[in-house]
Each structure stands twice: as C-alpha cells, then as structure tokens.
Structure 1
Amino acid sequence: MDLTILLFLVQDGITNGAIYALLGFALVLVFAVTRIIFIPQGEFVAYGALTYATLQAGHVPGTAYLLPIFAFVALLLDLHAERSRITGAFLLRQGIEKIVVPLGLLFAARELAGVSTIASLVLTVAIVAALGPHLYRIAFQPLADRSVLVLLIAAVGTHLALTGLGLVFFGAEGLRADALTDFSVDLGPLPVSGQNIAVYAATLLLIAGLYWFFERTVQGKALRATAVNRLGARLVGIRTKGTGKVALALAAGIGAVSGVLLAPMTTIYYDTGFVIGLKGFVAAIIGGLASYPLTAAAALAVGLIESFSSFFASDYKEVIVFTLLIPVLLVRSFASKHTDEED
C-alpha cells in the first residue's frame, strides 16, 4: 500500500463514516424520545435515494403516492380515537396535515420532476420526512407505553413492511442519481470530489441544525425533556405523542438526506437501506444509544474499518464491521447491573 491508496481509503472511510454518523444520530434520537430501537431507519435512506433518483429522471416517485396512503390511514385512526370529542379546529388541523400537505407534495412531484437538482432534493426531503409522523401514528403510537421488547418487535415488523412497500412502489431495479456537483479539488495526490465535500458539509450542517433545534426551540426542548423523563414530561403538559411524531419526522428527514448523498455514489435498491442502517446502528450501540459525540466517533471508526477491510479482505468486510458489536456488548454487559426483570 502506498500513500495515495492510504489517502483514498481514509477519504472513503470518512465519507461513509459521516453518513453512518447521521444514521446513528437518528437512531439515538428516536430511542431517547420514544424507546424504539428504530430498525427501519435504513428504509428511509433507500426511500430518499430512490425518490431523488426518480425525480432526477423526470418521473414521479413511488413515495409521492405512498405518502397520501399513509396519511389517509393515520387520518382514519385519529378520527376513530377522537370520535367523541371532534371539533372544527381538530378537523381543520387534520385536513391540512393529512390531506392538503400529502396531495400538495404529490402535485409538486408531478409538476417539478426533472426540473432541477435543487427541486428534486427539496422534494425528496419533504416527501420522505412527511412519512415519519404518519408511520409513528400507524405503527408505534398505539404501543407507546408498552415495553422496549414490544416496540422492537413492532420496529422489525415495520422494517419488513417498508421493504415490501419499497419493492411495490419502486420495483426491483436499482437506481443511481447524478452527482450533486461536478466540482472537484486536488489535495496533493488525492482528488476530492464535490460529492464528498457535499457529504461533509451536509453532515456538519445537520449537526449544527440539530444542536440549534434542541437548544433554541420549544419543540426541541420538549424532545429533550421527553428523553430525560417521559412521565415527568407528560406531567408538566408535554404531549409525548407529539414528540414521538417529531422524532420520527427528524429521523426520516435525516434518512432522506443520507439517501440523497448516497444516491450518486452507489446503486441503491429497495432493500439496500437495511445494511446501511445496520452500520449506523453499530455506531449508535457503541455510543450506548445515548451519546451523540461517542456515536459520531464510533461512526467514523466504522467507516474507516469498513474502508480498510474492503482493501485487505473485501469478502469479509461486513463480518468485520458487525463483529465490532461483540466486544462492545460484552464490556457493557459486564459493566452493567442486572436484575431479574427489566422494564
């Protein structure tokens, strides 16, 4: 291995690690707020990549049709749950959230497909992020007070359902998008593409945006309060059902951005997101599903290990990456206190 190859491997590792860090942040956020080990996070990545590539090609993506279906099911559930106390304000809010917005995004996708890269990017994030709250309402809100194990089983079932829906709405053929920019710069012997720079910039911007959201906004502080003490947050008037929807909207948005960043770098299939999401999950587990800085550091480590494994033992790179979990789980198991029954 010479210096040039070493630099290429480090660059690839950092690029992949940045994306894994975003997914790890989403997993930590969802678990902290809702106690859901969010296995379907990878599906949002695949949906984002496939939606972006389809829009770039000038076609209406399947998610633009899937969103109104999810919204309609969520509307029926809300109407049934609130049937004894429906008001005009409630109907207006539900109509805007679950009819106007989904149909508006479908109309925008039909009109703006293939118009520009920026339009495709914005529409992708808007459509996929809007799926998050409706998914929470359908799959997780009825189980919000159940045990972590029940929520995990629901998450696995949701992952399988979303994978099947991805096949139905996008087909079995993989898609790949054009690069966000043709810009490139040479750093000595290492050429750095604009796509890599976009990954680094998007990761830093999202980290800064999340910090501002949690520190400066009422909704962000409500999410932090729910993460610290769900019952206490409910007692002081925070609607924990609402915080769950916001958490999944943020997770879906992060997944969509990750998919947009990945789409020009590799061919994405309807089931590609699962393995990508698992690597973010490895980083989140190393971070204890609690620490954002540790999750970021672990994600970069996962990316670098994967990159070097691809060079030295490409057939075993996945095995090597996922084997990282074993020593981490062993150490955490020996260090934690066990009880006969845990909630």
Structure 2
Amino acid sequence: MDRRLEPAIPGRGAQGAEVPTRFGLATREADGDWRDHMEKLDGPPVKLRTTVTEEHPKTIVSFNQSPDIPFDRSINAYRGCEHGCVYCFARPTHTYHDLSPGLDFETKLFAKPNAAELLRATLAKPKYSPRPIAMGTNTDPYQPIESRYRITRNVLEVCLDARHPVTITTKSDRVLADLDLLAEMAEMRLVAVAISVTTLDPKLSGKLEPRAASPAKRMAALGKLVKAGVPVHCSIAPIIPAITDEFMEDIVARAGELGIRSAGWIPLRLPHEVAPLFREWLSVHYPERGDKVMGIVQSIRSGKDNDPNFFSRMKPSGVWADLFRARFRVACKRAGVGKGKFELDCTQFRPPAVGGQLRLL
C-alpha cells in the first residue's frame, strides 16, 4: 500500500459503491451504452446526498442466541448509518438488500417509524418475558436522522411506560436530547448507556467516522450522563492497530477524570465486505502504514483479515492482543476505572396497554 489514492467522495467513510457479490448478484460489464458515458453526457455527478426510505416491518425486536454477546434481544430503529464509520461491522447487512456496503450503507438509509407501536405489541404478548433490550447494536440509534424521526425516543417512552430495561450504544451526543427519559429510567435501574470513543484526534475522527459526533462532544456527553445519574460505559471501539491504539491510555484517563467507572475495548473486526473497504480507506489516508496495520490485524485474527467463529471472533489472540490488554489494564488501574456490570431491573415490568385498553394494575 505505497500509493496514495485520491478520496472518491470527500466527507464519506467508504471510498466507493462496491456491488455485493456474496449472493450471486450479476455485475455489470461495460458494453458501450449510455451508462458508460454518463459523466461525459451529463457532466460530473452531483454531490452525493443522503436519502431516507420509510419501511414498515411486521416485527421490531430481534432475538439471538449468540454466545459472544451479552444480550439476547435488540432493536434497530434504522438500517444503514450516516455516521459513515469505515470500520463498521454492520456494513454487510446492506448487501442483503442488494445495496452496497460502501456508500449505499451511509447514504441510502431506512427508518422504521412504527417501531414503538410494534414494540408495544410485542411487550403486551401474554408469554413475553422481559430481559434488557439492546439498542445500537447494528446501526446507531442517535445518527443524524434521529433528530427528525425521533424513533429512538418513542421506543424509550414505551420502555419507560412498561418499566422495561434498555441498554444503548452510540457515537453521538444526541443521546442528551433524551436525558429527561434516561434520568427517570436510571432512577428505576432501567437503562445503561455506552458511548464509543475511537480517538481523541478530531482530524483522525473526521477520516474514520466523518459524520459522527466529535470526540470532544462524546466525552462531554459521557460526563453529562454521569452527572445526571445515568450508568455509563466508555467503549474504546474499535482499537485499530497503528492508527488509534495510541489514544487508549488518554481516553481511559479522561474517562476517569469524568467520574466514569466502566470502560472496555473492542478490537477491529473486518467481516465480509468491510475488509476490502478498510483496505481501500488505508490506501487513501495511510498508504505508507497500510501493510503494517493489516499485518497486526491478521496477527490477532489467526492470520486472516477476520475471524468469524463463535467464541473467538470477539477475543483476539497473539502478542499484539496481549499487549493491548496489558496496556488497557494498566491505564484503568491508574485512572480508577473498572469494567462495571450494570444490573438492570426486570422485576418492575408491566405489559403496556394496547388498542386503547386501560392498564389493569
């Protein structure tokens, strides 16, 4: 990776609109028709803009039995994410819909405006048994379009009404827009919030996650949540070797200064189409460092770009992984930060009223 490529789309994480090939989709070959001469005929392409399509699924709660994640159910109010984090492990989900995991993932978004209604119906089912619902597991619940749709807030209102516990993961300080709900839920031990901080360098953040909140805003949001009594977790995710790992100690130290008592780190994961997207990003921004970065990534993933196997996919191995663990452990000890376990309360759950019915109790 010794040649620097020019950014195809400034201000976007992905540098191209790759066509997914995992599902046998036909790729188009040049045949001399008008599509091969669009730019010559119509002029340069206009600025790439974000579009939002509303969809109305029949269910909103997804259940899983994965042994590698600490929750068994989740809600994703949106598909795709305008934050444009080039390393996002969720990018391949767009390929299921014949869309690019590159630029399509961050520009062709989908919103589910009936999410709260569907959740209310799910929680009201006679056999429903409550356990914490995770939000922000696939796409960010507080990405920019949340300011317009407020789907995440509507879901939280249902959870508060039903006394149902929720965990939230985000890269945005927009979470503070719902601080009134979060503070009330926190008093009843119904919520915990994790904010992911990748780097403290705003310029690097602008390359990695171009439309996410700045690192300073995320750290400030963590501090405000702490002051409001909301249980918070600082997630240093992902750790990108030779790119972001230098910020690990400073992020932990800053978290300690803010009174945060829980922090963790997650190594870079490059499933499916994310690996070539990330390699292309390296060629654009760090061509002189690309081979080193990928060499370390492969060293912690058994010689591959990614380890998809249960039990090991979230647990890197090797010398570099041991070094990151040791550094993180020392940093947490110095800062007085640990790995908190948030015991959310499921005993207060009360099925919500649906269809205009009044609550019996």
* Bigger helix fraction: 1
Same fold (TM over 0.5): no
Q: Radius of gyration: which is bigger?
A: 2
Higher relative contact order (CA 8 A, sep 6+): 1
**Which is strand-richer, 1 or 2?**
2
**TM-score, scaled relative to structure 1:** 0.24
What's the TM-score once normalised by structure 2's chain length? 0.23
